[in-house]
Amino acid sequence: MSHPPQSWRVVINRGCDHTLTAWVRPAGDEYRAMDQGGAWCRGASPRHAVVALAARKGWDVVEIRGPGEATTAEQVERMAAVACEEIAAG
């Protein structure tokens, strides 16, 4: 059975936040995470593979978000937009 790769986001802090994407796909009994440059790591779960890749790359990790998960900044932005709409509606 073929599984499409999952897109995981690793938010790193370098003065400002950058989001890097790690693609994860099953590989036998393990998972492999790969970055845009082709570096990869294995793990017992998709998250473990992404954590291993981030550690190997020496990334200053702030957040790791799975497929479809909003980052903290995105969640705050959405809450602010809803609050502004509620204030405007009076």
pLDDT by residue for the chain (90 residues), tens only, comes to: 456 778 888 888 865 555 667 788 877 888 888 888 888 899 998 899 999 998 998 888 888 888 889 888 889 999 999 999 999 998
CB environment 34-63: b (16+ within 10 A), e (fewer): bbeeeebbebeebebbbbbbbeebebebbe
User: What is the value of pTM for the model shown?
Assistant: 0.75
d(CA 27, CA 24): 9
β partners of residue 61:
12
Best CA proximity match to 61, nearest among 23, 11, 22: 11
Three-state DSSP class for 6?
A: strand
